[in-house]
């Protein structure tokens, strides 16, 4: 059987990230990024195998970027596209799985924009631009929130008056669903249990960070909530703070809500704690050289991560393994080791040599003999989006 080809699109307000994926392949045929869209400096950069190229986009609109992408796709795909898979951040309670995009799906994504004002409108721009240039191909929306729609009410409800949930959809949604689903599926396969089998704690640690408890392919709880600010310490996001912080800052410093949003989303996390950088690699180097802010940021990051993972243990009947993924989770032996040190109560223990010996981009077990399993599993959200798009089309 010929393996089908899918274009994966992740559209932000000024960028389009894209990848051309062939069914079942671990690598993209073609991938790249259109950046600074909406301005005069817009560029389109891509790579295919060893070949890398970049062009300026005279017209920096999202539509122009999509139009410039078309000839590249024709050049690199050896067959017509079977689908375009679009990453959409917030699916609210409407969407528990991937959807073929039609007018009603577009209306629902638009309706959810109040919950993700920075993301959903940008995702819609990408959907419209791609549908304009590829009108005859099925377009599929994959939602970051959909995987977590299996959470029980005791995990997704805030202890707030019922009307805020019933009338305003205020509840915990969770994000990074595509990544948590991908790595827990992989963990089932790698440990011989079968895809989507097993009881896992998953830590996705990139610029955004979240943890998740997954049982047999179903998310039972996760650290992010109504928005991607809740939970873990992240690159520039604070994660959990006392909810009264807003009122306190308003009263004592006179800060308004936009200023506080800016503080919590852009000036906090690793950047705020270290006073140096949001980039973990840079913080690790600085910590080695004695930078106290970097050392503190790393300590808080690992401790809060361990605390979140231990808390998520409440959602699981047993633990088959702990999974690390994302730029930090896949590459930082130090963060993995320090986090697991705080989790000794679960009997988790790392094998130091295995932990430092994990190859870049490789999945590997890193636990010591006698410990519950601990794995590093590289995430591949684009592959997950491509395969979910095809799976949807295969349904009768
Ligand atoms: P995004 O969430 O934007 O996709 P990534 O998953 O690429 O981000 O993760 C970015 C983070 O991974 C950065 O903090 C970066 O410093 C960190 N990172 C990448 N490589 C390493 C490494 N070798 N050691 C420590 N941190 C790393």
Judge whether 52 lies within some domain: yes
Judge whether 165 lies within some domain: no
Return the DSSP state at 230.
Answer: S
C-beta 274 within 6 A of ligand 1: no
C-beta 17 within 6 A of ligand 1: no
State residue 2's pLDDT score: 82
Judge whether 325 lies within some domain: yes
pLDDT tens by residue, 51-81:
999 999 988 899 999 999 999 999 999 889 9
Query: Which tokens go with 281?
Result: 């690699």
C-beta 332 within 6 A of ligand 1: yes
Same domain, 239 and 374: yes
Judge whether 189 lies within some domain: no
State residue 175's pLDDT score: 96
Same domain, 250 and 374: yes
C-beta 279 within 6 A of ligand 1: yes
Percent of the chain with pLDDT over 90: 92
The CA 283 to ligand 1 mean position distance, Å, reads 11
148-152: which pairs have CB atoms within 8 A and are 24 or more residues apart? 148/173, 148/174, 148/175, 148/177, 148/212, 148/219, 148/222, 149/91, 149/93, 149/95, 149/96, 150/96, 150/218, 150/219, 150/220, 151/219, 151/220, 151/221, 151/222, 152/220
* Most informative mutation of 281, 358, 376 for ligand 1 (most atoms within 8 A of CB): 281
| Mean pLDDT computed over every residue of the chain | 95
Same domain, 20 and 132: yes
State residue 114's pLDDT score: 86
From the number of C-beta atoms within 10 Å of its C-beta (0-12, 13-18, 19+), residue 254 rates as exposed
**pLDDT-based confidence at residue 39 (cuts at 50, 70, 90):** confident
pLDDT tens by residue, 164-183:
999 999 999 999 999 999 99
Residue nearest to atom 23 of ligand 1 (CA): 331
Judge whether 297 lies within some domain: yes
Same domain, 90 and 230: no
The values of phi and psi at residue 284, to 5°, are: -65, -40
Same domain, 87 and 198: no
**Domain CATH for 309:** 3.30.420.40
Percent of the chain with pLDDT over 70: 100
State residue 188's pLDDT score: 98
Max CA-CA distance within the chain? 67
- Containing domain of residue 349, as a range? 194-381
State residue 289's pLDDT score: 98
- Which residues touch 303 (CB under 8 Å, ≥6 apart)? 342
pTM above 0.85, yes or no: yes
Same domain, 92 and 214: no
Which atom of ligand 1 lies closest to the CA of 379? 6
Domain end call among 108, 143, 178: 143
Average pLDDT over residues 361-379: 97
Same domain, 238 and 360: yes
State residue 229's pLDDT score: 95
Q: Which residues are catalytic?
A: 144
Domains: count for the chain: 2
| Crossing angle (nearest 10°) for helices 103-111 and 120-133 | 160
- pLDDT beyond 90 at 155: yes
- pLDDT beyond 90 at 117: no
Judge whether 275 lies within some domain: yes
**pLDDT-based confidence at residue 362 (cuts at 50, 70, 90):** very high
Integer distance in angstroms from the first to the last C-alpha of the chain? 19
Same domain, 216 and 342: yes
- pLDDT beyond 80 at 1: no
Average pLDDT over residues 281-295: 98
Judge whether 252 lies within some domain: yes
Same domain, 112 and 234: no
- pLDDT beyond 90 at 82: yes
* 50-54, 150-154, 291-295: segment of lowest average pLDDT: 50-54
Domain end call among 81, 110, 143: 143
Task: Please tell me the distance from the alpha carbon of residue 201 to that of residue 315, in angstroms, as a whole number.
Answer: 10
Same domain, 135 and 211: no
Judge whether 151 lies within some domain: no
58 with 65: CB under 8 angstroms?
no
Domain end call among 107, 126, 143: 143
The CA 328 to ligand 1 mean position distance, Å, reads 5
* 11-20, 240-249, 307-316, 328-337: segment of lowest average pLDDT: 11-20
Task: Please tell me the distance from the alpha carbon of residue 369 to that of residue 153, in angstroms, as a whole number.
Answer: 37
Residue nearest to atom 26 of ligand 1 (CA): 281
Same domain, 115 and 224: no
Task: Please tell me the distance from the alpha carbon of residue 207 to that of residue 386, in angstroms, as a whole number.
Answer: 23
**What DSSP string describes 33-47?**
EEESTTSTT-EEEEE
Same domain, 215 and 275: yes
């Amino acid at each position: 059987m010929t393996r089908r080809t899918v274009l994966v699109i992740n559209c932000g307000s000024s960028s389009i990230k894209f990848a051309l994926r062939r069914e079942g392949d671990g690598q993209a045929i073609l991938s790249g990024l259109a950046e600074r869209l909406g301005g005069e400096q817009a560029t389109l950069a891509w790579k295919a195998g060893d070949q890398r190229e970049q062009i300026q986009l005279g017209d920096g609109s999202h539509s122009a970027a999509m139009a410039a992408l078309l000839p590249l796709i024709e050049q690199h795909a050896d067959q017509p596209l079977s689908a375009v898979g679009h990453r959409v951040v917030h699916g609210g309670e409407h969407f528990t799985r991937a959807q073929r995009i039609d007018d009603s799906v577009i209306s629902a994504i638009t309706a959810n924009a109040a919950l993700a004002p920075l993301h959903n409108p940008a995702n819609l721009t990408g959907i419209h631009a791609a549908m304009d240039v590829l009108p005859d191909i099925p377009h599929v929306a994959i939602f970051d929130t959909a995987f977590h729609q299996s959470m029980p009410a005791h995990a997704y409800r805030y202890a707030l008056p019922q009307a805020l949930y019933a009338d305003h959809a205020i509840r915990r949604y969770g994000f990074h669903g595509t990544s948590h689903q991908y790595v827990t599926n992989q963990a089932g396969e790698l440990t011989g249990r079968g895809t989507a089998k097993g009881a896992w704690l998953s830590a996705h640690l990139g610029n955004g960070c979240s943890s998740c408890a997954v049982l047999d392919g179903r998310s039972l709880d996760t650290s992010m909530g109504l928005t991607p600010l809740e939970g873990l310490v992240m690159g520039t996001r604070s994660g959990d703070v006392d909810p009264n912080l807003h009122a306190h800052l308003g009263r004592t410093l006179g800060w308004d809500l936009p200023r506080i949003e800016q503080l919590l989303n852009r000036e906090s996390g690793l950047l705020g704690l270290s006073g140096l950088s949001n980039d973990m690699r840079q913080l690790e180097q600085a910590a080695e050289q004695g930078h106290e802010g970097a050392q503190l940021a790393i300590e808080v990051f690992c401790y809060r991560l361990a605390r979140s993972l231990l808390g998520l243990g409440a959602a699981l009947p047993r633990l088959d393994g702990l999974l690390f993924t994302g730029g930090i989770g896949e590459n930082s032996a130090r963060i993995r080791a320090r986090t697991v040190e705080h989790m000794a109560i679960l009997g988790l223990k790392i094998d130091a040599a295995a932990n430092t010996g994990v190859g870049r981009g490789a999945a590997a077990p890193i636990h010591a003999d006698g410990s519950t399993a601990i794995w590093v599993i590289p995430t591949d959200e684009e592959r997950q989006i491509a395969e979910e798009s095809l799976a949807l089309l295969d349904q009768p």
